[in-house]
Amino acid sequence: MSLRSQINARIFLTSVAILILGGSVAVWQARSAVSKEIDSSLNLAAQLIKLNFPQSQQSAVDVSAWLPRFVSLEQTRHLKIQLKEPTGEVVKFTADHKRVADAEMPPRWFIGLVSSQYPDVEQQLTTADGKQLTLIIEADPLDEITEVWAESCVFFMSLLVMALLTFVAVNLVFNKALNAIAQIVDGLKTIEQGDYQQKLPDFKTQEYDHIAKAINHMTAVLDAAHQENSALTLHSLEIQEEERQHLSQELHDELGQSLTAIKVMAVTAKNQNADTEQLTDAIIGICDHLITVVRSMMRNLHPLVLTELGLKATLEDLLNHWAGRNPELVLTLYCADEVDSLEQKITIQIFRIVQECITNIVRHAQATKATITLGIAPANLLQLQVSDNGRGCEQATITTGFGLLGMRERVNSLGGVLTIQTRPGQGMSISASIPLP
């Protein structure tokens, strides 16, 4: 069921409940009002009879003169007044009060709900000729019930109009709200397709405007991340092509030429007059050079020592390699032995992160000292920190480099968090916290 249908159903049920409750209250008040009015009329009639005939049993009453005046009183319009002859014959007296028309007659069910049992009032009278009569006064609530029915109808119509107005007002408000929701959903569908330039408009409703601004901010962040990832992917492809080109060049220049030289020397060695000893020494020298070249290529592609000796030994070999090429840079490693038991996918990523950090320090930091700390924290977290005393940089510029972006992606792929702290002239500190399985 849609939200609009749910709202309309709830409004309808609430309106029905209000009408039922209002109807119950109206019937209860009508019953109470009729009862009070009838009781008041009966009490008034009894008081009038008592005041006019304090000794009715002994006094002679001119019924033909007094009774019509009594019946014509406005207060007796809710009463039926009758005289009972000694013979048992009942004579009814009616005044010229306005009677209820059939069209205005309340329905029977309403009369039954608001009516109740009312006591009769009887008074013994003696006429001037000595005849004993009985004055009988009964309740006649129909006129009062008709008035109450008219008031109840007005009350019900007011409730119904209020319910309809509430229904219309709520629907108008929710139409505006649902239109805003539809705009937001359409915008999210567009964003889902990869169109991060999509922006939601400003809404007059504060809550929807906050949602739109939050989505626009999220879209801007996603767009920036998408652009960074695209640039990083392109950069990675460029590096891959450069590495392939470099590898091809190395194979051609080093391996190809060296193998050609070895082949030429081997063919020359078949000649009986060839200087075998000199050719052998030359081949050995070429082979040593090839071994050095191959090891360098293997180190660049994948350090075999990482698989054979573990992460700690690989990092020590990496630092020794850079220290030999940059004697002015002091590299210090603090590494726990437990890191050698890490999974292969974690060790290769840690090695690449440290490799990238040292490369950046050598190329850009102008540092004289760098420290690498690697260990496992008590919370089963792998903690890595690489810090230097170089020139540092502004915090806002650290996200522009592909090296730092690559390191962040490596840490994120392991479910970790990478933090970078730097200030101009105060070096840089890169920390990574990676949860271990």
DSSP string, 26-89: HHHHHHHHHHHHHHHHHHHHHHHHHHH-TTTTTSEE-HHHHHHHHHTSGGGTTEEEEEE-TTS-
Q: How does the average pLDDT of the chain come out, rounded? A: 79
- 395 CB-near residues (< 8 Å, 6+ apart): 420, 422, 423
The number of residues in the chain equals 437
| All domains in the chain, ordered by first residue | 3-169 (no CATH), 310-437 (3.30.565.10)
Position 182 pLDDT exceeds 70: yes
Rounded to an integer, what distance in angstroms lies between the CA atom of residue 135 and that of residue 126? 10
For the whole model, what pTM was predicted? 0.49
Note the pLDDT of residue 227.
79
Position 196 pLDDT exceeds 90: no
Q: In sequence order, which ranges of 202-309 are alpha helices (DSSP H)?
A: 206-250, 257-269, 276-301, 304-308
| Antiparallel, parallel or unpaired: β 132-139 and 121-127 | antiparallel
Position 98 pLDDT exceeds 70: no
Helix (H) or strand (E) holding 330: strand 330-335
Pick 206 or 47 by higher pLDDT.
Answer: 206
Percent above pLDDT 70 for the chain: 83
The band of 370, judged by pLDDT with boundaries at 50, 70 and 90, is very high
| pLDDT tens-digit series, residues 109-160 | 887 887 777 777 776 766 666 677 777 777 777 777 787 888 888 888 887 8
Q: State whether residue 366 is helix, strand or coil.
A: coil
Tell me which of 18-22, 101-105, 320-324, 414-418 is least confident. Answer: 101-105
According to DSSP, residue 416 is labeled -
Q: For residue 429, how far is the Cα from the chain centroid?
A: 38
Count CB neighbours of 294 within 10 A. 14
Q: Where are the beta strands (DSSP E) in 337-414?
A: 369-377, 381-388
Do the beta carbons of residue 375 and residue 383 sit within 8 Å?
A: yes
Pick 83 or 308 by higher pLDDT.
Answer: 308
